[in-house]
Structure 1
Amino acid sequence: MPELSVVVHGPNVQDHLTGLLDSLAAHPARSPAGPDAGIEVIVAAVGDWARETAERHTPAFHVLPLPDGTGDAAARSAGAARATGRWLHFVHAKDGLPPGAPRTIAEHTAALPDRVDVLLLDHVRSTWRTCGLPSPDGPLLARAGRAGLALDDCAPLLKLTPLLGNRVVRAGFWRSRERPLTTDDEPFAAYAALLLADRVAALPHPAYEDRALRPESLPPVTAGQRYALIDRYQALLDLAGDRPAAYAVLYEVMVRDCLRTFVRAGMPEPVAREFFRRASLAARRRRPDGHPRPAGLEGVRRSLLEEGSYTRYRAFQTANRVRRTVRRTVRTRRRQVVTRLRDHQYRATLGDPVDPHLAVFSAYWNRGVACNPAAIAAKLGELAPRVHPVWVVSAANAALLPPGTDHVVPGTRRYWEVLASAKYLVNNVNFPDAVVKRPGTVHLQTHHGTPLKRMGLDQMPYPAAAKGLDFQALLARVDKWDYSVSANTHSTRMWERAYPSRWVSLDHGYPRNDVYCTAGAEQVRAVRERLGIAPGRRAVLYAPTHRDYEAGWTPRLDLAALADRLGEETVLLVRAHYFYDSAATASPLTGLRRAGRLVDVSSYDPVEDLCLAADVLVTDYSSIMFDYANLDRPIVVHADDWETYRTTRGVYFDLMADAPGPVARTQEQLTEILTTDAWRDESAAKTRAVFRRRFCEYDDGRAAERVVRRVFLGQDEESLPPVLPLADRTPAPRPEEIA
C-alpha cells in the first residue's frame, strides 16, 4: 500500500494543470523509507483538455477521465475512490506543488501516530503576476509544534487559510467522514476536516501552492453565493457544538470574513444591504457569552455590525474612506484640470445613446482594411447591411484604402465620437486604453494568428518579449472583450491561459481563412498574373517572422544564392514581417529582383492572395503556416535559430517535433529540400495532414458567416452553420492544377 496518494482533480483551467503535472513528472516522488512506503498520483481529469494533458504522463500517473462539468467535490470523491494510499492529498488542477513536496509529506506522515487524522501544511501563494509569496500561516503552524494535538488544545489552527490542499487527510478518516466533507464549498470542507478530526499534526513547511485566478476570468459572484458565506459559518458553528475554544475562534473568523467581504466585494446596494442584515443577525445570535470585542476602529466596526445599523456603518465607512483618499483626490483633480479637449469630447459623447447600427473596425494597429476584421466587415455587408462599418486607419495609410471606405484617423474629433457611440468594436489587436466599455456595446477580439509563440501573460518570463509591456494595462483591455475568435482548440486553450477574463470563445474559425476554401481557379490565376508569375513557374513564398532579440530585420538566408540554386523556373516571393517598414526591407533586397525571379511582396495586401499564388511556403515560426495549411500545399520550415527563439520568445509546443513539413536547420538543407522532391513527397504530405487536423479545425470557409450571425445577428450556437469536417472540404486549386 502506498504511503501517500496525491489526488489531482479538476479541469485544466487556463492550462495550469500542464505546469503542475510537468513539475510532478520532472521531480518524481521517491519513496520514503519503509517496505510498504510509496507515492502514487491519481489525476481525476475533468474534460478533454485535462484528460489529454494527463494522458501525456501515463503510465507514471493514473488517469481517471471525468465528464466536462464534473464538480470539484465529485472529482475529489472519484479520485479518492481510486486511490490506494494510507494518506490522501487533494491538489486542485489550478494549483501547484513545490518540487519534492510529495516526498516531504510522505516522509512526515509515515512517522505520525495512528490517531492523527489530518496533517496541516504551510503553503505559498501565486497570482498571474506574483509567484511563491509566503502564506500568513507559517508562524501559527510553527507554534503548534507537537504532533497529535487535539483541536481543543490548539483551536487557533482554525485561523489557517481554509484550503483542502494544505490539509493531508488519513484515507480511513476521509472515507468515514466523506459525506460531510464532500462539498463543492472547499472552505467548508477544509474547516470541517479539522473539526471532525481526532488529532491533527502540523508541518511548518511550504508543501502546497495556492494559485488565485484573476477574479475577472471567473463567473461573476451571485447574490446567493454572497449569502452562502454566512450560511457556511453558521453550519460550521453548529458543527463546533459544545467546543467553546473552537467555537470562539470560528466566530472571530466569521465576523472578520463577513466584514471584509462587505467592505471589499463591491456588491450592488440591495445585495449589500441584505448581506449586512444577515451577517448582523448571525453576529448577534452566534456571539459567545462574554466574548470580548476588539478595541479601536475594529471594535467600532464590530459594534455597528452587531447593532445591525446599515446606515450608520455606511456613514462610518464613508468617513474613513474620505480620510484615506484625500490626497489621492487632490491629485486626481489636478489631472482633470489638464485633461485635453478630445477627452472632454469623448466623455461628452459617452452620454449619448449607443448607436446599434454602427460598427468600428481596426486591424494591425490601424494599418488598414485587413485580416479577420476585413473578412467580418465584408460578410457583415451581405448579412446585416443595416450596420454601418467605420474603419480606424492611420493618416499615412488612409490613401491606400479601397475607394468608398468610411474611415476615421486616430485623434480626430470623429474618431472619438464613433468610438464612444458604436455598439460594435472589432479589432485584431486592442483599442487604446482610453476607450470605455459602455453597457450594451460589444467588443469582438479576432486575433491575427494561431499562437506558436507565447502571448499575453505567458510573455512575462521572457524579458525580450515582455520589454515595455504593461501587463496590468493589458488585462484591463482584455476585460473589455465580449468575444474572442478562435481557429482551433489549441488557440482557444492558449487564449484562455494568456488572456484570463470572462470573454466568450467563438470557436468558429478565422474569417480571413475563408478564402482558402472558397477561391476558384480564376482567382488563383488572377493573383499570379498580378504578381508577374508566369504559368508553369514555381512560386516559393518566403515569410519569416519577427525576432524580439533583434533590432531590425536581417535576412536569415542568402536570397541571391537561393534564387540561383532554385533555377529560372522558380520565383521567390519575399515578405518581411509587418513590424518592419519598407525602408528597412529595401536594402537587403536591393539588386535581387532580376529577371522576375524575386519579388518583394512585403507591402502587398492581402497576404491571403500571396498564399493563393504560392506553390510552397517557406517560413520559420510565423503564424502564416497555420493559415497556409488550409490550402493543403507544401510547407517547409527553416529554423536556423530555433533554440534561441524558443529561449528568448517562449513557445507553446515543439515545432521541431510537430512541424507541418520538412525542417531545415541550415540554408544548405533548405536548398536540398527545395531542389529535390522532399518538399512535396509522401512523408511531407503525411506530416502536413497531422498538422492540418490539429490546427485547421474550424476553418471551413464559413467562419465569417458564423461570427456575423452570432455577434451581429444574435443567433444562438445551435442555429449557426456547422463546421464542415476536414475531409469534406475542398481547398482552392493548386497552381499546377490550373496552369
Structure 2
Amino acid sequence: MPRFSVIVPARGVQGYLRACLDSVLEQDRQDGDLLELIAVDDCSADATGAIIDEYARRDPRPAALHLRRPSGAGPSRNAGAALARGDYLLFLDGDDTLAPGALAAVDARLRACGDPDVLLWDHERTDVWERRRPSGDGDLLRAAGDAVFDVARQPAVLGVEPAAWNRAVRRDHWTGRGLAFADGPYEDIPYAYESLLTARRVAVLDRVCVTWRERRRGSAATTPGPHHLVAVERYEELFDRLDGLLTEAGGGEGEERAAGEEDGRLPLLTVLHARMTERLLAVLDDPDRILPADRAAFFRAASRCIRRHRPAGVPLPAGLRSYRAYRSLHGARDLRRELAKELRDRGGAAARTAGRRYYGLRRHASLDPDLVLYGADGNRAVSGNPYAVHRKAQEIAPQLRGVWAVHEDARDAVPAGADHVTVGSRRYWELLARATYLVTDGDFPGAARRPGQLCLQTHRGTPLAATGLDTHRLAAAGPGPGRVLEHADRWDFCLTANQYAGEIWERAHPSGYETLASGFPRNDRFATASAADVRAVRAALGVRPGATAVLYAPARHDLPGDAAPLLDVVRLAAALGPRFQLLVRARPHDPWPPALVEAGTVLDVSGHPHVEDLCLAADALLSDFSPVLFDYANLDRPIVVHTAGWDAFRLTRGAYVDLLSGEPGDTPGVLARDEAAVAGAFHSGRWDGPPAASLRAAFRERFCRYDDGLAAERVVRRVLLGEDDLLPQLPPGERRTAPSPRAAERVLAQECGATRTLTGPGAVVG
C-alpha cells in the first residue's frame, strides 16, 4: 500500500501539467512504495487529458481518471480521493509543483509525530515571471513547534492559508469525518478548516513543500463576476457548523475538551473571524474578482457575515461601518492610484499622436460586423497563416470584407486587387477601431483591447527558440515581460499546430485566450497541392527539370545575440555538384558569384512571400534551427540539420527541443556540421535512407498532428463565423500529402504516356 495518494485535479493546464506530474513522480523511493498519483481530467478542452494519458501509459504509478462532464476542482478532488489507497491524501493543483524531497520530509515528520490526522507545511508563491515569494505562513508554523496538538490548544494554526495543497490528511480521518470539497468556487474553504477543526492530532512541518502558481487568467479566482459571493456563503456555512464540528472532534490528546465553554473557544473564534475578515476584504478590493457593478452587493453580504460572527470584544473594521464609509476609503485609494498613474503617463502623453487620439475616439463607434483586419510578418507581407485564413474566408464567408494592414515601405508586397491600409494612417486607426475581427501573426501597432472585438493570434510557426516569458533570462532577451503580457491579453484565440506548441503558448504567453487545436492554415497546402501544383511552383521558381532541389532555409540571422553561422553557399554548391540545385532563403547573405547565379545552381528565394510554396518545390530541406523544420515535416520529405552553432543558439535563444539528441521525436533527420558533411549526406544517400525516414516519421507524428488540410476552414468557422465547435480532425488514414517532386514527375510521365496511347497510330478516336 502506498504511503501517499497524491491527487491532481486538472482542467485547462496543458502548459504546466508536465512540470506538476514530474515533480510528484520524482519524489518516489527506489522501491516505488512511497506514492500513488491520481490525475483527474475535468473534461479539459485542451491537451490536459492527453498529457495525463501519456504519463499513465509510460509509468505504472499514475492513474488517469477522466470525468464525464465538467465538475470543477472540488468534485474532481473528491473523485480522485474515492480511488485512493494511500495512508495519507495530498492534493496538488495541476499548475503547481512539489518541492524536491518534499514527500520524504513529510513522511519523516509524520513518523516522528506518530502519524497525526493532519500535517501542515509551508508553501511559496510564484508569478508569471517565476519570481518566488514566501507564503506568510512561516511564522505561524514555527510558533507551533514540534508539538502534536489540536486546534483548541493552538488556534493560531487556523491562520494558515485555507488551501487544499498545504497539508496531508490521514485517509482514515478523511473518511471517518466525512471530509470533502465543496462544489463550486472557493471549494477548499470548508475542507481546509474542517480538516483541522475535527482533528484530534495536528502537527506542522516548517518547510516549503509546494510552489503555488498565481495564474493571471483562466480560473474562477481570476475571473470577475458575482460568483465570488460564494466566498461569503462558505464562511457562513462554516460558522453555522462550528459547534457541531468541535463536538465531533471530541477531546484533545490526553484530556477531554470542555465542549461549549465560550471562554475556551474565544481564541479559536477570534482567529477564524480575523482570517475570514482578511480574506473577504481582499476579495472585495480585488478588481480582477469584483466588478464595480457587483461591489455593493458583495460588500453588504460580507459585512453582514463579519458582523454576525464577530466574537465579543473584537472591533469592526472602520470601512465596514457602512457602504458609504467603505466607498470613501476605497475611493481615496483609487484616487491615489490614478494620480500616481497620471504622473507616470504624463511624459508619454505629449508624444501621443493625433492618429492615436483619433483611434481612441473611434473605439466608441459601433463595430463593423463584417470587417476583418489582417496583418502578417510585422505588417510587411501578405503571407503565412493570416493569408491562408483570408483566402478561406473569401471562399466560405464572402460577406466578410478583409483589409490588410501594411507599413508604407512594404506596400509593394500587397497583391494586385487586395484592399490594404497603411499602418499609422487615419484610415488605419479607423479600421483598427471598428473591425470586429483582427487576424495577425504578430501585433497591430497601437492596438488596444475593445469589448466585442475578437483577436486571432495565428503565430508564425511552432516555437523552437524560447518565446514570451521564457526569454527574460536569456542573453538574447526578447520583449520585456510587461509587453509580453500586454500583448497576450489582446488575444481571444491562439492557434497551434501540435500539442507541444499549445503547452508552450499557455505557459510563456499566459492570459485568458482560447487555444485552438486547429493546425496551421498555411500548412493546408501541404495536404491539398496536386502533382500539377508541385510542378507549377518548381517551374515558376526556375528549378531545372530532374534536378534535386534543396531548400536552404536557416533561422533568421539578424537578431541580437545570434551566433549560429550560415553555411557558405558557394562552397556548398560546389560540393553538391550539378545534380543539385540550392533554393536559398536566407537574409542577410553575401553576394554570390554571377556565374553561379547564371548557371541556376543557386536560386535566391529570400523574397518569396510564401514559404509553403518553397517547401512544395523542394526535394529536401536543409536548415539549422528554423521553425520551418516543423512545417516541412508535414511533407514527409528528407530533412538535413546543419548543427554548427547549436550550443551558442541554446545559450542565447534557448531551445525547447534537443534537435541533436538523435532520439525519435526530437531529431528530424540527418545531422551535418559543415558543408562537406552536408554534401556527404546527400552523396551517400543517408539523407533519404531508412534511419532518416524513421526519425522523420517520429518527428512528424509529434509536431504535425493537427495539420490535416482543414485548418483554415476550421479557423474561419470557429472564429469568423462563430460556430461553437471545431471541425474534427481527419483520422491519419484519411489524410493526404502533396506528392514529392519525383512523384509529381512520374504522374506527368504517366499522363503523357496515356495521351500518346490515345492519340498514337491505331488509336480509336470517337
The TM-score, its normalising length taken from structure 2, stands at: 0.86
Residue deviations 1:98-138 (CA, integer Å, cap 9, x gap): 22211111111111035x31111111111111333111111
Deviations 1:393-428 (A, max 9, x none): 122221232112222222222221211121111101
Alpha carbons 1:547, 1:645 under 8 Å: kept: no
Structure 1 residues 276-333: Cα deviation after superposition (integer angstroms, max 9, x where no partner) = 221122122222233334xxxxx3114x1xxxx3234223422343356545445545
Q: Distance in 2 between matches of 1:472 and 1:5?
A: 39
Aligned partner (choices 305, 316, 319) of residue 282 of structure 1: 305
Distance 1:450 1:171 in 2: 44
8 Å CA contact 1:181–1:192 kept in 2: the answer is no
Asked if the contact 2:16/2:503 (under 8 Å) is kept, the reply is no
1:271 pairs, out of 287, 294, 302, with 294
Do 2:300 and 2:323's aligned partners in 1 also have CA atoms closer than 8 Å? yes
Change (3 A) 1:642 1:554: closer
Q: 1:629 aligns with which of 604, 623, 633?
A: 633
CA displacement at 1:704 relative to structure 2: 1.5
Q: CA deviation at 1:85?
A: 4.0
Q: What residue number does 2:683 align with?
A: 675
Contact 1:465 1:548 in 2 (8 A): no
Q: Distance in 2 between matches of 1:521 and 1:610?
A: 15
Q: Of 459, 467, 486, which residue of structure 1 is paired with 2:471?
A: 459
Which residue does 1:444 correspond to in 2?
456
Q: Secondary structure at the match of 1:593?
A: helix
Against the structure 1 CA distance between its residues 698 and 17, is the aligned structure 2 distance closer, same or farther, given a 3 Å change threshold?
closer
- The residue type paired with residue 193 of structure 1 is S
AA at the equivalent of 2:491: W
> What pairs up with 1:384-463 in 2 under 5 angstroms?
384-432=397-445, 434-461=446-473, 463=474
Aligned partner of 1:91 in structure 2 is: 92
Give the SS at the match of 1:654.
Answer: coil
From 267, 272, 276, the counterpart of 1:250: 272
Within the candidate set 223, 236, 239, 2:238 is matched to 236
Name the SS for the 1:390 alignment partner.
strand
- Once the two structures are superposed, residues 68-98 of structure 1 have per-residue CA deviations (whole angstroms, 9 ceiling, x without a partner) of 7464344434544555443333222211122
Which residue of 2 is the match for residue 112 of structure 1? 113
SS of residue in 2 equivalent to 1:205:
strand
1:688 pairs with one of 696, 701, 706: 696
Match of 2:37 in 1: 42
Structure 1 position 230, deviation (Å): 0.5
Task: Map 1:167-182 to 2 at 5 A.
Answer: 167-180=167-180
Deviation at 1:452?
Answer: 2.6
Q: What is aligned with 2:579?
A: 569
Structure 1 CA distance for aligned equivalents of residues 295 and 568 of structure 2: 68
In the other structure, the counterpart of 2:335 is: 322
CA contact (8 A) 2:118 2:170 kept: yes
Aligned equivalents of 1:517 and 1:38: distance in 2?
Answer: 49
Deviation of the 1:215 alpha carbon: 3.1
CA distance in 2, matches of 1:710, 1:7: 34
SS at match of 1:215: coil
Secondary structure at the residue paired with 1:13? Answer: coil
- The verdict on how the C-alpha distance between 1:648 and 1:231 changes in structure 2, with shifts beyond 3 A counting, is same
User: What is residue 605 of structure 1 aligned with on the other side?
Assistant: 609
8 Å Cα contact 1:361/1:391 also seen in 2: yes
Give the 3 Å change call, closer, same or farther, for CA 654–670 of structure 1 in structure 2: same
Residue 731 (structure 1) aligned to one of 737, 745, 752: 737
SS of match in other structure, 1:622: coil
Matches within 5 A, 1:429-578: 429-432=442-445, 434-461=446-473, 463-467=474-478, 469-546=479-556, 551=561, 555-576=565-586
For the residue of structure 1 that corresponds to 2:285, the secondary structure is helix
Rounded to whole Å, the distance in 2 between the matches of 1:733 and 1:571 is 19
Aligned equivalents of 2:430, 2:564: Cα separation in 1: 42
Gaps of 5+ in 1: 32-36, 294-298
Aligned mates of 1:625, 1:234 — CA distance in 2: 58
Secondary structure of residue in 2 paired with 1:133: strand
Which residue of structure 2 aligns with residue 367 of structure 1?
A: 380
Q: Which amino acid is 2:453 matched to?
A: T
Q: Distance in 2 between matches of 1:55 and 1:465?
A: 38
Specify the SS of the correspondent of 1:396.
helix
Residue identity matched to 1:523 = D
Number of the residue aligned with 1:202: 204
CA contact (8 A) 1:162 1:186 kept: yes
Letter in structure 2 aligned against 1:586: D
* Contact 2:476–2:561 (CA under 8 A) maintained in structure 1: no
SS in structure 1 at match of 2:215: coil
Q: Structure 1 residue 144: deviation in Å?
A: 1.4
Partners in 2 of 1:440 and 1:231 — Cα distance? 33
Match of 2:193 among 181, 188, 191: 191
Query: C-alpha deviations, 1:406-465, integer Å up to 9, x for none?
Result: 222222222212111211111011223x3122222111111111223332223334x134
Number of the residue aligned with 2:249: none
Amino acid at match of 2:437: Y
Inter-CA distance 451–288: structure 2 relative to 1 (3 Å threshold): same
Label 1:675 to 1:389 Cα distance change in 2 as closer, same or farther (>3 A).
same
Q: How does 1:134-149 map to 2 (within 5 A)?
A: 134-149=134-149
CA distance in 1, matches of 2:134, 2:491: 33
Tell me the distance in 2 between the aligned counterparts of 1:590 and 1:29.
Answer: 67
* CA gap 1:355/1:180 in 2 versus in 1, 3 angstroms: closer
Quote how far apart the aligned CAs of 1:572 are.
0.9
Q: Determine the C-alpha separation between the residues in 2 that align with 1:385 and 1:288.
A: 68
Paired-residue identity, %: 39
Against the structure 1 CA distance between its residues 71 and 342, is the aligned structure 2 distance closer, same or farther, given a 3 Å change threshold? closer
Structure 2 CA distance, aligned partners of 1:117 and 1:217? 30
User: What secondary structure is seen at the aligned counterpart in 2 of 1:92?
Assistant: coil
Distance 1:710 1:345 in 2: 31
* Equivalent residue number for residue 296 of structure 1: none
Residue range with higher mean Cα deviation, 511-520 or 650-659 = 650-659
Are the counterparts in 2 of residues 428 and 448 from structure 1 also a CA contact under 8 Å? yes
One-letter amino acid matched to 2:39: A
* RMSD of aligned Cα (Å): 2.8
Task: Choose the corresponding residue for 2:282, options 260, 283, 289.
Answer: 260
Contact 2:634 2:707 in 1 (8 A): yes
In structure 2, how many angstroms separate the alpha carbons of the residues matched to 1:489 and 1:148?
A: 47
2:711 is the alignment partner of 1:711: no
Aligned partner of residue 397 in structure 1, secondary structure: helix
Kindly provide the amino acid, as one letter, of the partner of residue 496 in structure 1: E
Q: 1:188 to 1:592 in 2, by over 3 A?
A: farther
Deviation at 1:568?
0.7
Relative to structure 1, the CA distance from residue 728 to residue 38 in structure 2 (aligned partners, 3 Å threshold; closer, same or farther) is: closer
